[in-house]
Structure 1
């Protein structure tokens, strides 16, 4: 039989209430009593009944993180930061993968885990503002990413238009005049692509450079193979680009592989910049210039917003002005793929 709180109390010679006070960290316990209880806990290898405690407190100490793909390094790195931030609040993180499928994302926000989690951090690709507005589950929720702006939930995002503009401007400043873009999408879930394409176009216009549809490649996904295939197509053009802005680092790494295989010098012949600042880009040959979202700050902001909802009962209620949309910082990180 598992050791009970009463077993610990009997061995320590105290009441079960005193044991409970020690386990829950109450300060008003005499040091000698606390020491006796802790020794009894160690002797009996006692483990508190977390399920019973959760029922009493109305909390499980578990939050959920739902992202499209766990094998995308950006999401893996972001998840690591979120776990670290959640741990500061004593929370455990349950990680889920939606693959950007509408029905899966709808189930995530529908409260199927409402008896298990205290809060949800979600990076949606397929949900609409209408889906979120129709949500009936009251579990606190914070959104990440670009899919829904100004919606009915607290939201942490970066300024993708400005960041894409900065990436393109960097290529222009390095002397590139025929700049390609890899990662455009013509699907409802392609909001990230639309924002980054807009920033790319704005930078070209500001520099007096023409926008050439031929230089904009579409990709279904944002994986290495998509970048490699797009770069192969661009190299087959009669007039090759002299710079490439890839809408994420994975596609940029795929593009670098194609360029290496075809003997194209980077950045001498074609300069390349990505987006996300994943760790792989710091060890590629050449190292990858990129836009660096502050993932640690994104995680901190998301966890803080979730904590506030748990206290206030809803998004934005602490300020009385509805859901919050907070822009996390980013920076341009030039490396060898543009600097040489």
Structure 2
């Protein structure tokens, strides 16, 4: 098996050494070079042609976002951002994921090789990802002018690697009066609050990080907090968000499967959607939704950053239809519309 060739870009000599040592400890990764700033990195990319770049956000001469923009426009390739855990750092990292970075990992506070294990997995995933030049993707559908969701319908969406771009595209196509929606995106706890706030600013519906006991209402999107709990939905006259402190499922907490399974127990009209991501989380739960009479959609391979979760669900028979990312919002809205007022093309 050919090793994944990685270029490490960070303005700190110490951090470059730690990242390089951690990556070199894995026999499936080869660190082909390092760079202290974007100018060095640009020359190294041309000379070394790496498979993956790890990129610091704060650097001299040109910040990481500006350099990432140039990479995605001129030479699209998999990039993993290495960010600080400050509030400003999380906002910048989310912006990087929107621009086209495959994933992000927080710089560990503890300077130890073991603290970089998460980065190794993300680099390997990035090497298998599909990266497109900015502007190559078809334009996403705009939110309909007139729309009314079925009042009792629940929409559940699961995503992982590449999910920032995917969720911005899908939720950006929703009107303010969207179906009651729950979302599980695999993301560290330090990022989900900022991501929910970002979605709320740019999308028409009200988007918030889910809190325990919050009632599901049309026009609202509830994003699972990262880290300590799973997002479930409890039955009732008005279903409510429940944050449950259980063990990880499929290696994830929150888990898409846990959320999908809870929606099945509501015994209500429901739609499940699985977007780009690595692994199998959500495949079994989406199948349960379909078997219980729910409608199910999956993102197609060509538009996924990583065609892992949607592929697993499709091969299991859980996906009713696969669609490119730009066509998902209209299809979702059609399935969740009030039957007496269907007006979505």
TM-score over 0.5 (shorter chain)? no
Structure with the greater relative contact order (CA < 8 A, sep ≥ 6): 1 or 2? 1
Q: Which has the higher helix share?
A: 1
